[in-house]
């Protein structure tokens, strides 16, 4: 089943799956894309502001995106992402956290023939603690 823009109802909340973060995963991602000491080096991280290794903010965003594709976007008639705003890293992501994701559909805005811009509030959580929030907008096809 494919969901078109008309099927995405403002006010709906979609609970995504979960992702277990490992120490190896944190170091591997950051070594490639964000090789700052507090993301890749245990000793530097232990002496730093967070007292231990924390995930790159981009890694948190990537984990959210993977949960969102698997749990939502893969069934949407997605054209492409358009913008992201107000990304807040509200708590550090540490090894062994089990993160879950949530999408809230804020609005569906018609945008030219055949497509709409879908505005979403996105949240990544460690249990009840929010670790990441942002607003995302994506182009989604309208029903043929």
Please give the residue ranges that form the binding site for a copy of itself (CB under 8 A).
32-36, 38, 48-50, 54, 56-58, 61-63, 65-66, 69-70, 73-74, 78-89, 92, 134, 139
| 97: nearest Cα among 59, 135, 134 | 59
Taking the least distance from each CB to a copy of itself, the nearer of 11 and 92 is: 92
Minimum CB–partner distance for residue 141 and a copy of itself (Å): 9
Minimum CB–partner distance for residue 74 and a copy of itself (Å): 7
Minimum CB–partner distance for residue 96 and a copy of itself (Å): 20
Taking the least distance from each CB to a copy of itself, the nearer of 7 and 65 is: 65
Taking the least distance from each CB to a copy of itself, the nearer of 60 and 125 is: 60
Strand, helix or coil for residue 17? strand
CB 89 within 8 A of CB 54: no
Strand, helix or coil for residue 124? strand
Strand, helix or coil for residue 139? strand
Minimum CB–partner distance for residue 58 and a copy of itself (Å): 6
Dihedral sign of CA atoms 25, 58, 133, 74 in order: negative
- Other beta carbons less than 10 A from residue 71's beta carbon: 18
């Amino acid at each position: 089943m494919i969901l078109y823009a008309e099927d995405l109802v403002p006010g709906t909340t979609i609970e995504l799956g979960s992702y277990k973060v490992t120490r190896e995963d944190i170091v591997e991602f950051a070594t490639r894309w964000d090789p700052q000491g507090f993301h890749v080096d245990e000793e530097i991280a232990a002496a730093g502001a967070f007292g231990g290794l924390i995930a790159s903010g981009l890694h948190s965003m990537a984990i959210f995106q993977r949960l969102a594709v698997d749990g939502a976007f893969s069934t949407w008639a997605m054209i492409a992402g358009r913008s992201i705003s107000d990304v807040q890293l509200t708590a550090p992501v540490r090894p062994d956290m089990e993160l879950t994701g949530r999408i809230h559909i804020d609005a569906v805005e018609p945008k030219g023939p055949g497509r709409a811009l879908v505005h979403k509030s996105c949240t990544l959580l460690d249990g009840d603690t929010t670790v990441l929030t942002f607003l995302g907008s994506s182009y989604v096809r309208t029903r043929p």
